[in-house]
């Protein structure tokens, strides 16, 4: 038996090394960047007018000039015009290059124009106003993005602006989800009175999909020989296998011994936690990682969120900040194990307040629909006060 902390440390020592792949920008959202992205030009690439109005030479204003003959219009997308006389001005549009010879933009609202002469109608004009200067956001060749970043729409914009129609991202691992159990039938089957429909595998595949990992799904019986034959092939063909069921003390819980017979070395079996105590974790010499999660549905689900997801993210170099929430009401829990309390978290004036809805044990997965995640209550404590802050493992959003 290991603690949650030991289990976490051992899992995070067994990261896999992802391959990289080049994907179109349109598919980049949510993927993890695998290359450094530098500015290919200054950002912005030229002195850019930020208001529609007129561009003047400030010195003329400073010397008392208020009326300016207009030489023409500098539209966005046109090469820079040049002012021929400091007492003149250009009309200039937002997004246009500042005409050379000018250094200040006065917006239309502060100007009146008649007979091609603009008169400034406000009392103050600052030198350089309403200009977004070349290179003021980033210089050419400046590092903008680093590997390990989960690409949001904001970075998609940046990638587009530096001319990246394709981007290098970390490829997801080849992943297989395997549920086990003779009592379980498929979703589209009608269970006999002693059977139940299997759900864990579907939940795991969906949870992986949310992380851009497409996993195969299979179901195996509680039969040592079948498990051995099928798991051998799955371990060979994948980087990570996530099993559910067959890891506890039952007469038909063959998963750990079968995995070891296939050369998957046990890193731990059993964690001092609830739910999910019978969790088994191992890796093969060939760098294959196996999470054998306890079959009770809430245990399977919790172990994925608490262990598999961080393993995957860290393998991709993602530095995910831990989340915390405030226990909203007192709670007590007796055995000295880490307790993952089901909670519904609400943001109350900027504080994430966690309201327990513990449910009816680790078989009660219907209750997961009421909650937003798990609060990790440490094994050192049995009484937990309202207002105490604990790690929080959300599974929504
Ligand atoms: N003598 C002991 N018995 C048990 C212990 C123990 O320490 N000593 N631990 C209990 C705990 S905690 C858990 S969790 C379960 C884990 O058992 P297994 O990993 O061996 O899982 P199974 O026995 O195969 O199944 C348990 C339970 O979950 C249901 N299940 C499994 N897979 C699915 C699925 N894909 N979809 C829906 N439901 C599933 C299964 O029908 C069982 O009801 O062991 C305790 N026993
Ligand atoms: O993990 Mo078990 O599900 O604690 O009951
Ligand atoms: Mg069992």
**Could you report the per-residue pLDDT of 236-252, keeping only the tens digit for each?**
999 999 999 999 999 99
- 3-13: average pLDDT: 98
Q: Whose CA is nearest to atom 46 of ligand 1?
A: 248
Is the CB of residue 91 less than 8 Å from the CB of residue 74?
yes
Tell me, what's the pLDDT at 285? 84
**Predicted pLDDT at 286:** 87
Average pLDDT over residues 181-204: 98
pLDDT for res 106? 98
pLDDT per residue as tens digits for the range 90-111: 999 999 999 999 999 999 999 9
ipTM of the complex in this document? 0.98
Query: Residue 29 has what pLDDT?
Result: 97
pLDDT of residue 320: 85
pLDDT over threshold 80, residue 140: yes
What number of CA atoms fall less than 13 Å from residue 292's CA on the CB side?
29
Nearest to 169 by CA among 380, 316, 339: 316
How far is the centre of ligand 1, averaged over its atoms, from the C-alpha of 15 (Å)?
Answer: 27
The confidence score (pLDDT) of residue 75 equals 98
198 lines ligand 1 (CB under 6 A): yes
Q: What is the pLDDT of residues 26-64, one digit of tens each?
A: 999 999 999 999 999 999 999 999 999 999 999 999 999
Task: Grade residue 177 by pLDDT with cuts at 50, 70 and 90.
Answer: very high
Share of residues in the chain with pLDDT > 90 (%): 98
pLDDT digit string (tens) for 264-289? Answer: 999 999 999 999 999 999 999 889 99
The ligand placed nearest to the CA atom of residue 296 is 1
pLDDT at 304 over 80: yes
Q: How far is the CA of 295 from the centre of ligand 2 (A)?
A: 8
Predicted TM-score (pTM) above 0.90:
yes
**How far from each other are the two terminal CA atoms of the chain, in whole angstroms?**
33
Query: In the structure, which protein residues have their CB atom closer than 6 angstroms to any atom of ligand 2?
Result: 274-277, 294, 296, 299, 362
Nearest Cα residue to 212 out of 173, 156, 154: 173
94-103, 152-161, 358-367: range with lowest mean pLDDT: 358-367
At 272, is the secondary structure helix, strand, or coil? coil
Neighbours of 299 (CB within 10 A): 28
DSSP state of 124: -
What separation in Å is there between the alpha carbon of 277 and the centre of ligand 2? 6
pLDDT on residue 321: 87
Q: What is the mean pLDDT of residues 372-389?
A: 97
Residue 256, classed as helix, strand or coil, is helix
Residue 13's pLDDT is what? 96
What average pLDDT does the chain have?
97
Q: Which ligand is nearest to the CA of 360?
A: 2
- Structural domains in the chain plus CATH codes: 4-18+172-315 (3.40.980.10), 20-43+136-170 (3.90.105.10), 48-132 (2.170.190.11), 323-394 (2.40.340.10)
Beta bridge partners of 266: 282
Residue 80 has pLDDT above 90, yes or no: yes
Nearest to 81 by CA among 106, 49, 110, 108: 49
Distance CA 250, CA 246 (A): 8
Question: Rounded to the nearest whole angstrom, what is the distance from the C-alpha of residue 245 to the centroid of ligand 2?
Answer: 11
What confidence score (pLDDT) does residue 3 get? 98
């Amino acid at each position: 038996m290991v603690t949650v902390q030991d289990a976490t440390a051992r899992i995070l020592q067994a990261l896999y090394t992802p391959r990289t792949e080049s994907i179109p920008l349109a598919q980049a959202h949510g993927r993890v960047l695998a290359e450094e992205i530098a500015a290919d030009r200054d950002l912005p690439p030229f002195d850019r007018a930020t208001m529609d109005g007129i561009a003047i030479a400030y010195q003329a204003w400073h010397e008392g000039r208020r009326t300016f003959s207009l030489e023409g219009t500098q539209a966005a997308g046109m090469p820079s015009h040049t002012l021929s006389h400091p007492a003149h001005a250009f009309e200039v549009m937002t997004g246009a290059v500042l005409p050379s010879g000018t250094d200040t933009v006065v917006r239309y609202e502060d100007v009146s124009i008649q007979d091609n002469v603009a008169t400034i109608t406000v009392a103050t004009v600052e030198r350089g106003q309403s200009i977004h200067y070349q290179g003021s956001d980033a210089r050419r060749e400046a590092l903008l993005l680093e590997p390990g970043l989960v690409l949001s729409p904001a970075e998609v914009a940046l990638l587009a602006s530096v001319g990246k129609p394709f981007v290098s991202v970390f490829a997801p691992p080849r992943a297989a989800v395997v549920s086990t159990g003779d009592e379980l039938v498929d979703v589209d089957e009608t269970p006999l009175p002693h059977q139940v429909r299997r759900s864990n595998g579907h939940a795991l595949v969906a949870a992986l999909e949310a992380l851009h990992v497409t996993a195969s799904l299979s179901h195996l019986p509680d039969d040592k020989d079948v498990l051995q034959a099928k798991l051998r092939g799955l371990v060979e063909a994948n980087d990570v296998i996530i099993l559910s069921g067959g890891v506890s003390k039952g007469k038909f819980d063959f998963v750990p011994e079968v995995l070891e017979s296939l050369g998957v070395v046990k890193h731990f079996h059993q964690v001092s936690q609830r739910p999910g105590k019978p969790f088994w974790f191992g890796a093969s010499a060939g760098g294959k990682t196996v999470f054998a999660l306890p079959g009770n549905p809430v245990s399977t689900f919790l172990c994925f969120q608490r262990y598999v997801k961080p393993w995957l993210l860290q393998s991709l170099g993602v530095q995910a900040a831990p989340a915390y929430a405030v226990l909203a009401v007192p709670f007590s829990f007796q055995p000295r194990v880490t307790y993952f309390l089901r909670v519904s978290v609400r943001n109350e004036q900027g504080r994430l307040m966690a309201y327990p809805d513990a449910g009816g044990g680790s078989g009660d997965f219907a209750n997961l629909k009421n909650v937003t995640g798990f609060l990790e209550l440490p094994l050192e404590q049995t009484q937990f006060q309202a207002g105490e802050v604990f790690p929080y493992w959300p599974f929504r959003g």
